[in-house]
Structure 1
Amino acid sequence: MSQDTTLNVTEQQTNELRYLYKVMQAIKILGEQPSLNVVAYGKLWRYGDLLKTAVRYAELAELHGNDTSAFKHWFIRDVMMFQ
């Protein structure tokens, strides 16, 4: 992605990306232990929440010009495992 693409990113999207980064750090154990539940940021997080949050995080990261190929590889592998 080019630098020009990041010019279309809103402040709200940047703030959401920062928040989701913190959430992902708090619940990353779910990637290794999908049967666990994690309490963080006033919510009970499950593995499905990790996947949904990770998808949104990747979307925002791409808008900011970041390479998300590693995420896509992980996500496809996990989705195939749980189907």
Structure 2
Amino acid sequence: MSPHTTLTVTEQQTNELRYLHKVMQAIQILGEQPDLNVVAYGKIWRYGDLLHTAVRYVELPELHGFNASPFKEWFKRDRALFEHYGIEVLKIS
């Protein structure tokens, strides 16, 4: 994203980012213990859910102008793992 690009970020997107931040804090143990399940926010979260949530958690800050390239590089390196959990690497550009 160009430093001169101006994006319109909706209040809904900002609220979603806040919610995802809380979710990521609640389920971060899955990053170290992928075989666990975590109950949080009325849902049972699994490792694949952590990965799906992480993708969205990166997309939203990008709308706010934050650089997500370190996450994207990590994501691309672990392509096989993510694809095993049904996450398309192509979604991360």
TM-score normalised by L of structure 2: 0.76
Q: Alpha-carbon deviation of 1:14?
A: 0.4
What is the rounded CA distance, in whole Å, between the counterparts of 2:6 and 2:23 in structure 1? 25
Identity of aligned residues (%): 73
Larger RCO (CA under 8 A, 6+ residues apart)? 1
Does residue 64 of structure 1 match 2:64? yes
* Structure 1 residue 5 displacement after superposition: 2.5
What RMSD, in angstroms, separates the aligned Cα atoms of the two structures?
Answer: 1.8
**Matching residue of 1:17:** 17
User: 1:72 & 1:61 partners in 2: Cα distance?
Assistant: 13
Alpha carbons of structure 1 residues 12 and 47: separation in structure 2 relative to 1, 3 Å: same
Report the counterpart of residue 36 of structure 1 in structure 2.
36
When normalised by structure 1's length, the TM-score is 0.84
1:55 aligns with 2:55: yes
Amino acid at match of 2:34: P
Cα contact 1:9–1:63 (8 A) shared by 2:
yes
Cα distance between partner residues in 2 of 1:43 and 1:81:
23
Q: List 4+ stretches of structure 1 deviating above 4 A.
A: none
